[in-house]
Structure formats: C-alpha cells, structure tokens
C-alpha cells in the first residue's frame, strides 16, 4: 500500500507539472464540449452514499497459482452507490475497505458533483479514491454518456480480451487430479465463450511440485494448449515463482512456441530483467514483458520502462484507481509502453478496463474474469472476434438488479 500511495503522489505531481509546462494541452482538452459537460455536473449535489455488495460467480473452480492456494468459485464484491439530489445514481466497486470509505462520506455529501469530479481529469482529490469508479459511473449517468466518451471517444477503441482463469487446473481435485486434459477442457470452455487468448499460470515447481517435475509440467501444459488451439495467443504468468535462470529453462523447454507476453516471471529487478531480455534477444524470442501487478514500486517500474525492459504496465485498475490510470497513460505512451491493468478477481474490473482502453487506447489486451451474477446486469458487454466491446449505455453500463 505504501508503494502504491507513493505512486499516486508521483502521478499527481507529474500531472501538475505537465499542466504548468503545457497549458495549451490542458486548454485543448477542456474544450467547449467538456466545459458544457462540467457545467451540467454542477446542477447535481451529492445527497447520499450507501454501501452493499454483489456476488459474482465463476463458471468453475479456479485453482492454485505459483504462490496461492485455491481461488474458489467467485467473490462477493463490495460496492458503493452515490445518489444526487436530482435522483441520478452511480455505483461501482468500492476501492479499499468500507471503514476508510465511510470516513470520507461527510466530505462528499452536500458537495456539487462538479466539485469532486472533473470530466477532463476524474476525481479532484486523492481522498476520494474509494469512490473513484462510482463517481465516473455517476458522471456518465448524469451526462448520458458511457465512461469511454468522457475520456474523449465517441466510438471506443477495442482490444484483445484474454481468459485469466487458466490456473493449475491439472492439480485439482486433490484426491483425483484431472491432469492436462482438465486444462484443455477449461481452455475449450473459454474458447467457446469467445476468448482467443489464454493466460496460463506457470511455476508449479515453486510450491506445489518439485522444481524438476513442476518445470516439466509447465512446459507440457504450454505445448498442449498451443497444439490444441493454434489460432489463439498464449500468455504466461509466473507470479514471481521463478528465478531468472529457472525461467530461461522454461523458455528453452517450450522451444519455438510463441508467447504473446511473459508476466511477472520473477520479482522484478533491473539486472534480472536485463539478463532475461538479453537472452530473449539472442534466442529471437519476441514476447512482451509485462509487470507491475504485485506490490508495485513506482521508481523501479519507471526505471524498467526507461531502459526498455518492460513492455506492458499491469498495476491493478482499482488499486491504482481509474483517475490515476488516466494520469499514467500519457507517460506510458511517452515511454512506448502499453497498458493492461490487472483485473483478476472481479469481472467488474475487466469492464472498467474496457472503458479506460476504449477512451484512451494504448491497451494491448484486457484480462477476462468470466462471471455471472444475479445482482448485476452484465449483458451489455460482448465479445466479438476475441475483443471486448463495452456498451454505449451511460456510465459503465451495468445496472444493479437488487
């Protein structure tokens, strides 16, 4: 949390400096249409903020990864609902715990929506981060626009959409493991659902098997999925379960199988990433290197990007916050680094990312967390040709059913 807080402070400072250095860009962004939208928000005063939760169910048991045990069948997602004096309602996931959020409620109730949210930027104060998503949704509802349109796009950019649910399914159930056939069956389910990218968890030898047997199984699973789904991209995620030398052994093991990206193979350091990048260059491995999910260190990530050792930035969409992702994206463009905010756990996060990507672009793919819900209408989002398409409905386009 401390690293993430430093990251947020750095983003705020960087945004302020950029506005001072280039006022013309800020003026261009806050054009006549944006100013009119901001004026519309001023007609609404926040009347109440309430809390609740919604249940999201996965279609199957999600198993282990290199570091963590079973992930279960779904989650209960805490939410907040913000209502204005004119009856407009916005809702979304609550960032952080309810206790901290409740302490901020008195600062928001009674304020004009325009004072706490700016169309051109997002929330106006870091203290409002627990309600960042909900305020974006509310602004979209008030203005009758999808969130991606608030970010500047009448028609959204769309991008690839990967299944993030291929865990160590071969090891479950513990009393009668399903083996690689179970991994392939789950990939088939996801393929039929519409995905054309699979992210395979690897690193079985870190905790669940011997190093030798785990590495062999990681290689075998990768080869089996590549052979069974030749029209799909394969991404791999080591959850920091390897050393750099161990991971190079994995890459040698899979041979010429192309990987769309390599995610967090080991805890990131400049030296280790340089060793990996150098080996990949010699071996003509062209996979993207993706990092920044686990305990992100902003200074280190910045150094990795500057030295061209990281291709995709992964910090969580809710952990960093939607507003701070809006601030971060221009810096990524400057570094020629693409975005793919971490979304695991909640399909809501996948859908929020679809609007971030839809409005700002520069997103290489979106993490999918296939789910159903009796509490939320998720039907507005569709998958077409392996891409996630957000709805044109106001806000994030998801209605509460209960």
Q: Is residue 60 part of a domain?
A: no
pLDDT per residue as tens digits for the range 127-156: 999 999 999 999 999 999 999 999 999 999
Domain boundary among 87, 117, 144: 144
Q: Quick one: 186 and 242 in the same domain? A: yes
Question: Confidence class of residue 7 from pLDDT cuts 50, 70 and 90?
Answer: low
Among 18-32, 125-139, 221-235, which stretch is predicted with the lowest mean pLDDT? 18-32
**CATH code, 255:** 3.20.20.120
Q: Quick one: 135 and 216 in the same domain? A: no
CB atoms within 10 A of CB 181: 11
pLDDT averaged over the chain?
Answer: 93
Q: Work out how many domains the chain is built from and give that number.
A: 2
Q: How far, rounded to the nearest angstrom, does the alpha carbon of residue 143 sit from its chain's CA centroid? A: 25
Beta bridge partners of 376: 400
Q: Quick one: 41 and 102 in the same domain? A: yes
Task: Give the CA diameter of the chain.
Answer: 65
Q: Is residue 154 part of a domain?
A: no
**φ, ψ of residue 310 in degrees (nearest 5):** -140, 130
Q: Quick one: 251 and 298 in the same domain? A: yes
pLDDT per residue as tens digits for the range 199-211: 999 999 999 999 9
Q: Is residue 394 part of a domain?
A: yes
**φ, ψ of residue 261 in degrees (nearest 5):** -150, 160
**Residue 384 CB burial class (10 angstroms; 0-12, 13-18, ≥19):** exposed
Q: Is residue 152 part of a domain?
A: no
CB 195 within 8 A of CB 162: yes
Measured between alpha carbons, how far is 63 from 168 in angstroms, rounded to an integer? Answer: 6
Q: Is residue 65 part of a domain?
A: no
Q: Is residue 256 part of a domain?
A: yes
Amino acid 3: pLDDT: 57
H helices within 229-340, ranges in order?
244-254, 270-283, 298-306, 317-320, 322-335
**Residue 111 CB burial class (10 angstroms; 0-12, 13-18, ≥19):** middle
Task: Tell me the residue range of the domain where 128 lies.
Answer: 2-50+76-144
Q: Quick one: 133 and 258 in the same domain? A: no
Q: Would strands 46-62 and 72-84 be described as parallel, antiparallel, or unpaired?
A: antiparallel
Q: Is residue 105 part of a domain?
A: yes
Q: Quick one: 102 and 15 in the same domain? A: yes
Q: Quick one: 139 and 163 in the same domain? A: no
CB atoms within 10 A of CB 259: 19
Q: Quick one: 170 and 134 in the same domain? A: no
Strand ranges of the sheet holding 89-93, from the earlier edge strand across to the other edge: 46-62, 72-84, 89-93
Q: Quick one: 286 and 168 in the same domain? A: yes
Q: Quick one: 363 and 237 in the same domain? A: yes
Look at residue 382 and give its three-state secondary structure: strand
Q: Quick one: 137 and 255 in the same domain? A: no
Q: Is residue 242 part of a domain?
A: yes
Q: Quick one: 227 and 170 in the same domain? A: yes
Residue 55 falls in which region: left (phi positive, over 0), alpha (psi -120 to 50) or beta: beta
Measured between alpha carbons, how far is 80 from 99 in angstroms, rounded to an integer? Answer: 12
Domain boundary among 144, 169, 186: 144
Both structure tokens of 58: 């996965």
Measured between alpha carbons, how far is 119 from 395 in angstroms, rounded to an integer? Answer: 12
Both structure tokens of 126: 């870091």
Among 45, 74, 90, CA closest to 346: 74
Q: Is the pLDDT of residue 107 over 60?
A: yes
CB 65 within 8 A of CB 203: yes
**CATH code, 95:** 3.30.390
pLDDT per residue as tens digits for the range 297-347: 999 999 999 999 999 999 999 999 999 999 999 999 999 999 999 999 999
């Amino acid at each position: 949390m401390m690293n993430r807080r430093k990251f947020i402070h750095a983003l705020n400072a960087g945004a302020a400096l950029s506005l001072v250095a280039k006022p013309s860009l800020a003026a261009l962004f806050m054009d006549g249409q944006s100013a009119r939208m901001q004026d519309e928000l001023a007609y609404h005063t926040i009347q109440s903020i309430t809390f609740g939760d919604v249940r999201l169910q996965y279609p199957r048991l999600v198993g282990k990864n290199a570091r963590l045990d079973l992930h279960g069948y779904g989650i209960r997602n805490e939410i907040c609902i913000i209502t204005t004096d004119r009856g407009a309602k916005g809702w979304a996931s609550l960032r952080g715990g309810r206790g901290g959020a409740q302490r901020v409620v008195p600062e928001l109730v009674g304020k004009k929506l325009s004072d706490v949210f700016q169309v051109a930027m997002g929330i106006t104060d870091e203290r409002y981060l627990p309600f960042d998503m909900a305020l974006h949704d509310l602004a979209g509802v008030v203005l009758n626009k999808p969130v991606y349109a608030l970010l500047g796009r009448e028609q959204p950019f769309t991008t690839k959409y990967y299944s993030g649910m291929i865990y160590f399914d071969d090891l479950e159930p513990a009393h009668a493991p399903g083996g690689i056939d179970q991994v392939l069956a789950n990939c088939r389910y996801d393929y039929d659902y519409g995905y054309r990218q699979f992210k395979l968890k690897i690193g079985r030898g870190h905790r669940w098997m011997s190093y030798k047997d785990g590495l062999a199984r990681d290689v075998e699973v990768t080869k089996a999925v590549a052979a069974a789904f030749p029209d799909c991209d394969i991404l791999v995620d080591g959850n920091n379960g390897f050393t750099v030398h161990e991971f190079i052994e994995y890459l040698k093991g899979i041979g010429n199988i192309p990987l769309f990206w390599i995610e967090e193979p080991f805890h990131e350091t400049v030296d280790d990433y340089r060793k990996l990048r150098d080996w990949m260059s010699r071996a003509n491995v062209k996979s993207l290197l993706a990092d920044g999910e686990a305990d992100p260190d902003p200074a280190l990530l910045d150094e990795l990007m500057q030295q061209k050792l990281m291709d995709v930035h992964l910090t969580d969409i809710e952990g960093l916050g939607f507003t701070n992702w809006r601030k971060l994206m221009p810096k990524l463009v400057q570094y020629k680094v693409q975005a793919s905010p971490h979304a695991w756990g909640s399909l809501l996060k996948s859908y929020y990312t679809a609007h971030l990507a839809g409005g700002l672009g520069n997103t290489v793919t979106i993490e999918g967390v296939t789910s159903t819900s009796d509490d939320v209408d998720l039907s507005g989002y569709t998958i077409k040709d392996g891409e996630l398409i957000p709805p044109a409905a106001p806000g994030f386009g998801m209605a509460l059913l209960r």
